[in-house]
Amino acid sequence: QGLGKTVQCASMIGYLSEVSKIAGPFLVVVPLSTVPNWIREFRKWIPSVNAIVYVGDAQSREVLRAFEWETGLLAGRQYKFDVLITTYEMVIKDRDMLRPIKW
């Protein structure tokens, strides 16, 4: 039986983005085995938030960064995603790409 951490986190991000108007981006770091559950719950509970999964090999992460990363805008919304769901291992591997983002 789960403790509801996934729904609690999703509802907190939903509150921050929809009520407090804090757009993010938000970084959610979870164990690899739970990633499918996290993205499913985010899409179910806060479909208005663009949550993406950042896992996989170097080439697939590069494709994700090419198409789902920056908007190209200098002001306003700089990233296409609101929530990046990833693992500790991915954070360590891609820290140089993740570090400049103001989470």
Q: What is the pLDDT averaged over residues 23-52? A: 94
Query: What is the predicted pLDDT for the residue at 3?
Result: 65
**Are the beta carbons of 53 and 59 closer than 8 angstroms?**
no
Bridge partners of 21, per DSSP, are none
Query: What is the predicted pLDDT for the residue at 2?
Result: 62
> Distance of CA 36 to CAs 22, 52, 73, 90, Å?
25, 11, 30, 16
Q: How far apart (Å, rounded) are the C-alpha atoms in residues 38 and 7? A: 9
3-state secondary structure of 72: coil
Element (H, E) at 51: strand 51-54
What is the DSSP secondary structure assignment for residue 100, as one 8-state letter? T
**Res 1 pLDDT > 60:** no
Q: What's the pLDDT tens digit per position in 41-97?
A: 999 999 999 999 999 999 999 999 999 898 887 777 889 999 999 999 999 999 999
When mean pLDDT is compared over 4-8, 22-26, 28-32, the highest value belongs to 28-32
**At a CB cut-off of 8 Å and minimum separation 6, what does 5 contact?**
none
Domains of the chain: 5-99 (3.40.50.10810)
Name the residue with higher pLDDT: 63 or 24. Answer: 63
What is the DSSP secondary structure assignment for residue 49, as one 8-state letter? S
